[in-house]
Structure 1
């Protein structure tokens, strides 16, 4: 499979081995991680774990993001037609190690991005989590192409994307972060020719973009 990297190829009812799909609730496991659709309480917890590296790379504070959700019940899942947010937890301890999102941007393309908390970096957790989210995007939501971008000087993000098979693609070389900082940008894509929609959630991100 071209550009598939280490993505699992075995198919199940929901397209991804071990995936549970119940509307807005999705959960899938790897050897060490459980990745699930984030709830408001998960984003509040992640905000407490953010460090200067996350704030700098994202161009915003996750605490501000969590603050905007304060009016919602803590168990509301972050799962709409425009964005699905996930948290990755260590299966053995329940420790939150990463936050990832699938989101629709201009051009109606489905993007993927995320952050790994300071205490879990350089341990392979980011790769495992991204692999699962990409598998869900391709084999469950049915998206043939997933798009990502990162700052040109962010070597860790470049390696992270390449570790699961992302390849460079043309794109706008300049991106303005929420804090107003303009950065030189690299664009990436992940292609799965065997992508197929299996999700039944009417609010799943990107479903309106599905092509057979």
Structure 2
């Protein structure tokens, strides 16, 4: 099982025991405000289960990582990435509301970028963010991601078609 740490956080692959925390993230309206409409528990579990298989750098399924506070062991959020092409991957992250604004998003996104670029041979990371999610946009830009464009009416969410911002970060740009 993949495990590693950063200054304040510990990361490990998701296990079945993390289901209650994952569900709590998905049920939190603040966390999901720009992510998705409220799904059924069965739909949420289906998404969770795609992150449970054993992962290796060659895997084509989500690397699902639980983020925990090193000092307390308290779950902070989930993060990871999925290869979309041989050398290109999409990153994703959700942080529990009580951990917003503490720099955990930056620390954890840097850790995922380090893993993808330095250990997995990824050439490019991408992220798709619903337009209006300024906090996520700022986080991506702080790490070095660049806005590559807007996909107009790309995602049906909250009863209407939403635009998506697409961000990218090349390995050669990452520092």
TM-score bracket for this pair, using the shorter chain length = 0.7 to 0.9
Counterpart Cα distance in 2 of 1:177 and 1:113: 19
- The aligned runs of 1:39-78 (5 Å cut-off) are 39-49=15-25, 50-61=27-38, 63-68=41-46, 76-77=52-53
- The aligned runs of 1:9-28 (5 Å cut-off) are 25-28=1-4
Which structure 1 residue ranges, 5 or more long, are not aligned? 1-24, 196-212
1:82, distance to aligned residue in structure 2 (A) = 2.5
Match of 1:110 among 62, 84, 89: 89
Closer, same or farther: CA 124–175 of 1 in aligned 2, 3 Å: same
CA contact (8 A) 1:102 1:111 kept: yes
Q: Choose between structure 1 and 2: higher helix proportion.
A: 2
Q: Which runs of 4+ in 1 moved over 6 A?
A: none
TM (norm. structure 1) is 0.67
Matched, 1:131 2:110: yes
Counterpart Cα distance in 1 of 2:173 and 2:146: 17
CA contact (8 A) 2:14 2:64 kept: yes
Closer, same or farther: CA 126–48 of 1 in aligned 2, 3 Å: same
Closer, same or farther: CA 64–109 of 1 in aligned 2, 3 Å: farther
Closer, same or farther: CA 180–85 of 1 in aligned 2, 3 Å: farther
Partner of 2:151: 172
Pick 1 or 2: higher relative contact order, CA cutoff 8 A, min separation 6.
1
Closer, same or farther: CA 81–173 of 1 in aligned 2, 3 Å: same
TM (norm. structure 2) is 0.80
Partner of 2:80: 101
Cα RMSD, aligned residues only: 2.9
Counterpart Cα distance in 2 of 1:107 and 1:184: 27
CA contact (8 A) 1:167 1:188 kept: yes
Partner of 1:12: none
Q: How many residues in Structure 1 have an aligned counterpart in Structure 2? A: 167
Closer, same or farther: CA 61–186 of 1 in aligned 2, 3 Å: same
Closer, same or farther: CA 172–107 of 1 in aligned 2, 3 Å: farther
1:41, distance to aligned residue in structure 2 (A) = 2.0
Partner of 2:132: 153
